[in-house]
Amino acid sequence: MAKKTSTYSISDLAQEFGVTTRAIRHYEELQLLQPERQGQKRIYSPADRTKLKLIVRGKRIGLSLQESGELLSMYEPGGSNVAQLERMLEYIGTSREKLSQQLRDISAMLDELDKAETGCQAELETLRKSRALT
């Protein structure tokens, strides 16, 4: 059976994820991606694509590239010795706490937005009423 190993060019991915090719190369400089090469050209695998997806997602929630890199490293087999795995579990725990805190922060923000919106609408109402009296 022929393998359906689809690949992507750098601009394919750039377009799909709304980033520049320069940014993608930058992620490679920081070791977050290691695409194959065909001559000079970079060839991205589906796995590379997934990594990039995680990177841009990380960016949206305010992770630094370094943090994203650490998270990415968890998807690679890596040194599977007990110590490594335990450090990994600890890192997972820490990450989860950070994310949970972010969830709380965002919920709080959304609540405040609701309040602000309500107040805003009320003000608009009174403004319109007073205008109707003119």
Partner DNA sequence: ATTGCAGCTTACGTTAACGTAAGTTATATT
Partner DNA sequence: AATATAACTTACGTTAACGTAAGCTGCAAT
For residue 127, what are its two tokens? 């403004």
SS (H, E, C) the chain: CCCCCCCECHHHHHHHHCCCHHHHHHHHHCCCCCCEEECCEEEECHHHHHHHHHHHHHHHCCCCHHHHHHHHHCCCCCCCCHHHHHHHHHHHHHHHHHHHHHHHHHHHHHHHHHHHHHHHHHHHHHHHHHHHCC
Q: Does position 130 bind a second copy by CB under 8 A?
A: no
Taking CB under 7 A as the criterion, the residue among 31, 50, 66, 73 binding DNA is 66
Task: Write the interaction track for a second copy spanning residues 65-104; mark x where CB under 8 A is met and - where it is not.
Answer: ------x--xx----xxx--xx-xx--x--xx--xxxxx-
Stretch that binds DNA, among 11-19, 81-89, 93-101, 115-123 (CB under 7 A): 11-19
Residue 17 partner contact from a second copy, DNA, none using kind-dependent CB cut-offs of 5 to 8 Å: none
CA distance 47 to 36: 11
Distance from C-alpha of 35 to C-alpha of 12, rounded to nearest angstrom: 13
Residue 47 binding: pick among a second copy, DNA, none (C-beta 5-8 Å cut-off by kind): none
Of 20, 31, 41, 113, the one binding a second copy by CB under 8 A: 113
Residue with smaller CB distance to a second copy, 33 or 72:
72
Question: 94 is in the binding site of which of a second copy, DNA, none (Cβ under 5 to 8 A by kind)?
Answer: none
Q: Which does 101 bind (CB under 5 to 8 A by kind): DNA, a second copy, none?
A: a second copy
